[in-house]
Amino acid sequence: MKKNIVIGLMALTLLASCNKEKTVIKSIQEYNATMQDKGYHFGDKIALPSDVTGNAESISISFGDKESNTLTIDPKFFTLGENDVTFNIKMKDGKVVNQDATINVFASKPEQNLTYEQVAEYPHDPKNFVQGFQLDGNTIYESDGQFDQSRLIKYTLGQTQPIAEAKPNPAPGTQLVEKIFSEGSTIAGDKVFQLDWKNKIGFIYNKANLQQIGQFQYPTEMTEGWGLTYDGKNLIASDGSSNIYFLDVNDPSKVVRKIGVAGSEMAYGQINELEYYKGFIYANVWQQPVVLKIDPATGEVVGRYDFSNYVKLHTKGSDDVLNGIAFKGDNMLVTGKNWPKIYEVKLK
């Protein structure tokens, strides 16, 4: 009889322990879902529900190979944008419960609404599905996308006829998951670098004649190829997430560092075409009429340009969207996929 009572008590204790674990997991999941949209700012405390703290002996957060026992949004551990973490909760009975979460950290200052004035416009071939866009001297270098049509071209600003073009040609033995689909491109010295969308490879060309001279593999951190620019030291790439990657220009398969892109109220996902100019990264957000001005040190969005006036003229569906940024002196050139115009605007 006593044995049965002991077994019964043990079963009840085990059941209570399991119920507490389920309560903690459910509570922290609901809390994280709420906070993912609301976000945090540096210095904020992570105020977990009492269902979690009341049943925990200790709580820590792990970030890859780092771990912190302080439930504070500390820039030593967190970056702006999305942070994938694991909550490690040691229960009072000694068991450890782990729960993955995404913690969004937003900038402390609201991004400015920046203005501009149009000063000129130029023709753009409406057949070009522009994915990368740079001006060097008076020559446009453009990455033209789409399956079976991808190419890199150069032409004189004000004209539309290419003076040179090349089709990306994967090296023998390259295993492709999709046909080549050209994405972002940039000039670095005497070379032009170009990304592919799905195959996690990029191509290198001689800038003078667009002869292909190399190929590179993406770093494992990058899921796809979207935008590309160069800051004079590193290639800077986007993969359609809220992250921007700084790559070794001599070995683009290596990530030097990365940043998350965030404003004061949101992490900006689907970062696409990029351009670096005078200490800032300019980026468009796919299918949105905006260009972001980003601090490359932190990922903070310090300003936004709204190009809705041009988007209303040229965007009729989901494909023909704003997607070209270049600089002509201190003025910005903007265009889009299959747009017939390039606009030159003076930034204010």
pLDDT given at position 93: 83
Q: Which of 160, 163, 221, 152 has its CA nearest to residue 193?
A: 152
Distance between CA 97 and CA 168 in Å, rounded?
49
Centroid of chain to Cα 259? 8
What is the average pLDDT across 188-197?
A: 98
Q: What are phi and psi of 6, to 5 degrees?
A: -60, -45
pLDDT given at position 18: 54
Lowest-confidence segment of 1-10, 273-282, 326-335 by average pLDDT: 1-10
List domains and CATH numbers for the chain: 2-105 (2.60.40), 112-347 (2.120.10.30)
Distance between CA 131 and CA 347 in Å, rounded?
23
Task: Look at residue 50 and tell me whether its pLDDT is greater than 90.
Answer: no
Distance between CA 98 and CA 76 in Å, rounded?
22
pLDDT tens by residue, 269-298: 999 999 999 999 999 999 999 999 999 999
Distance between CA 129 and CA 119 in Å, rounded?
24
What is the average pLDDT across 293-321?
A: 94
Residue 106, helix vs strand vs coil: coil
Tokens 């999305």 belong to 82
DSSP state of 246: E
- In order of 112, 195, 237, 289, 299, the CA distances from 260 in angstroms are 18, 20, 12, 20, 5
pLDDT given at position 60: 92
Q: Which of 161, 148, 138, 250 has its CA nearest to residue 204?
A: 250
Q: CB 246: neighbour CB atoms within 10 A?
A: 18
260, 268 Cβ separation under 8 angstroms:
no
What is the average pLDDT across 131-149?
A: 96
Sign of the four-CA dihedral 238, 240, 244, 246: negative
Residue 10, helix vs strand vs coil: helix
Distance between CA 154 and CA 46 in Å, rounded?
51
Beta strand pairing call for 301-306 and 112-114: parallel
4 CB-contact burial (10 Å; exposed 0-12 / middle 13-18 / buried 19+)? exposed
pLDDT given at position 6: 44
Distance between CA 314 and CA 280 in Å, rounded?
27
Q: What is the pLDDT of the chain when averaged over all its residues? A: 92
More confident position, 30 or 200: 200
Cβ density class 179-207: b for 16+ within 10 Å, e for less: ebbbbbbbbbeebbbbbbbbbbbbbbbeb
pLDDT given at position 7: 47
Distance between CA 21 and CA 93 in Å, rounded?
10
Task: Look at residue 37 and tell me whether its pLDDT is greater than 90.
Answer: no
SS3 track for 264-317:
CCCECCCEEEEEEECCEEEEEECCCCEEEEECCCCCEEEEEEECHHHHHHHCCC
